[in-house]
A = this chain, B = another copy of it.
Amino acid sequence: MRILQCVPNFSEGRDPRFADQLRAVLEQFPVQVLDLSLDPDHNRADCTFLGAPDAVEECAAALAARAVELIDMRQQSGSHPRMGAVDVVPFVPIRGVTMEEAVEIARRFGRSFAERHGIPVFFYEEACTSEERRNLADVRRGEYEGMAAKLQAPDWAVDAGPQAFNERSGVTAVGARMPLIAFNVNLATDELAVAKAIASAVRHSSGGLRHVKAMGLEVAGTGVVQVSMNLVDYRRTPIHRALELVRIEAARYGVAVRECELVGMVPLEALGDVAGYYLQIPGFDAAKVIEYHLLPEDGEETAA
């Protein structure tokens, strides 16, 4: 079984008919939809679906075409950073697909999308063509309003499509990346400074673990603070290592971990790593799980 995931983000989160339009497109392809949600405050739609690589690539192209048709960036505003109608299109290898293949698919999708719609495209994360474009935040810096100027800078030659700004649709980032694990640790304290200090200690950018992004924040209405983490490569920096490091740093303040949450989904492999660590089972692997053997075999397509 070969499974690829795609998590496109579109810059429309207020019109429920937009979700209906996306759903109508998704139904035409043999893909499994894990999430489709509109955030009115962010003014952004999040869509997560998966299936065989060909089906996912074709479905992503159809979704993007519909979004280009419906969204006019000249009238768009929202609290989430964005630079285009089809803001980001990351492809994520889930099973039986290598990162190299995901990169190839992302770039092919990006070139085809750019030519079809006349929209400038940058490749990011594993699909990036230079290290300066690996981080989405760097690619998107300046946002929609700054893209016309950015496209004239010598460092920002497009990876696909026209070098000219598209006023109606903006600019699109297309990438390939590992499944991202969003893992939040709620602390038994209301001191925001403690959460911020712990986040700073565990995240890569300030000296922590290589594949952890983290910030400290207040959880509205709970009286507790949170270390909110993105684990961007769970194979190299697994969940348990991030959690136990938070625990160790929290001990410095006499603060305990109150509870944790996984936002979104987690690959079975990452869950197996957690079990292997805490149960002290060397080399635990997913084939130990009964359901693993019920997954469709190579060559079978998943049903819609």
Chain A contact residues, CB within 8 Å of chain B:
1, 3, 5, 32, 34, 50, 94-95, 179, 183, 239-240, 243, 257-262, 265-268, 271-272, 274-275, 278-282, 284, 286, 288-297, 300, 302-303
A239 to B95, CA, bound (A): 27
Q: Given A261-B281, A274-B275, A280-B260, A290 and B302 touching (CB < 8 A)?
A: no
* Additional A-B contact list (8), CB under 8 Å, known A271-B272, A291-B292: A1-B294, A34-B290, A259-B282, A261-B281, A262-B279, A274-B279, A296-B296, A296-B303
Closest to A297 in B: B303
Q: Contact: B281 with A278, CB < 8 Å? A: no
Q: Please give the count of copies of this chain that the complex contains.
A: 2
Q: Given A271-B275, A274-B275, A274-B279, A3 and B260 touching (CB < 8 A)?
A: no
Q: Contact: B262 with A280, CB < 8 Å? A: no
A281 to B182, CA, bound (A): 13
Per a CB cutoff under 8 Å, which of B259, B282, B288, B295 touches A294? B295
Per a CB cutoff under 8 Å, which of B5, B265, B303 touches A300? B303
Q: Contact: B259 with A281, CB < 8 Å? A: yes
Q: List 30 A-B contacts (CB under 8 A).
A: A1-B294, A32-B294, A34-B293, A179-B290, A239-B279, A240-B278, A240-B279, A258-B280, A259-B282, A260-B279, A261-B281, A262-B284, A265-B289, A265-B290, A266-B288, A266-B289, A267-B289, A267-B290, A267-B291, A271-B272, A271-B275, A274-B275, A274-B278, A286-B291, A291-B292, A294-B295, A294-B296, A296-B296, A296-B303, A300-B303
Nearest CB in chain B: distance from A222 CB, A: 13
- On chain B, the residues within 8 Å of A281 by CB distance are 259-262
Nearest CB in chain B: distance from A50 CB, A: 7
Nearest CB in chain B: distance from A108 CB, A: 24
A217 to B259, CA, bound (A): 37
Closest to A179 in B: B290
